[in-house]
A and B are shown apart, each in its own frame.
Chain A
Amino acid sequence: MMTNQNAERCKACRNIQTLGFTLYDLLLFLDTHPCDQDAQKRYFSCLEQYNKALAEYAEHFGPMNASTVVPGCEQWEWVCTPFPWELGGGC
Chain B
Amino acid sequence: MWSYEKRLQYPVKITQPNPKIAQVIISQYGGPDGEMGASMRYLSQRFSMPNRICMGTLTDIGTEELAHLEIVGTIVHQLTRNLTPEEILQQGFQNYYVDHTTGIWPQSAGGVPFNACEFQSKGDPITDLFEDMAAEQKARTTYDNILRLVKDPEVADPIRFLRAREIVHFQRFGEALRALQEDLNSKNFYAFNPSFDCQGNQANHRCNA
Count residues on chain A whose CB falls below 8 Å from chain B CBs. Answer: 30
A66 to B15, CA, bound (A): 29
- A sample of 30 inter-chain contacts (CB < 8 A) reads A13-B7, A14-B11, A16-B7, A21-B9, A24-B60, A24-B64, A25-B168, A27-B60, A28-B61, A28-B64, A28-B168, A28-B172, A29-B172, A31-B57, A31-B60, A32-B176, A32-B179, A34-B206, A35-B206, A64-B5, A65-B6, A67-B3, A78-B6, A84-B7, A85-B78, A87-B13, A87-B81, A90-B8, A91-B8, A91-B11
- The A-contacting residues of B in range 31-82, CB under 8 angstroms, are 53, 56-57, 60-61, 64, 70, 73-74, 77-78, 81
Cβ 8 A contact of B15, one of A16, A27, A65, A87: A87
Contact B6 A31 (CB under 8 A): no
Q: A83 interface residue, CB < 8 Å from B?
A: yes
How close is A39's CB to chain B, nearest CB, in angstroms?
A: 13
In the A-B complex, list the 6 residue pairs whose CB atoms are closest, starting with the nearest: A32-B175, A31-B56, A85-B74, A91-B7, A31-B57, A84-B8
The binding surface of chain B is classed by DSSP as helix
- Which residues of B lie under 8 Å from residue A34 when comparing CB positions? 53, 206-207
- Which residues of A lie under 8 Å from residue B13 when comparing CB positions? 87-88
Residue of B nearest to A27 (CB): B60
- Which residues of A lie under 8 Å from residue B70 when comparing CB positions? 84-85
How close is B173's CB to chain A, nearest CB, in angstroms?
A: 9
Residue of A nearest to B70 (CB): A84
A91 to B53, CA, bound (A): 32
- The B-contacting residues of A in range 17-65, CB under 8 angstroms, are 17, 20-21, 24-25, 27-29, 31-35, 63-65
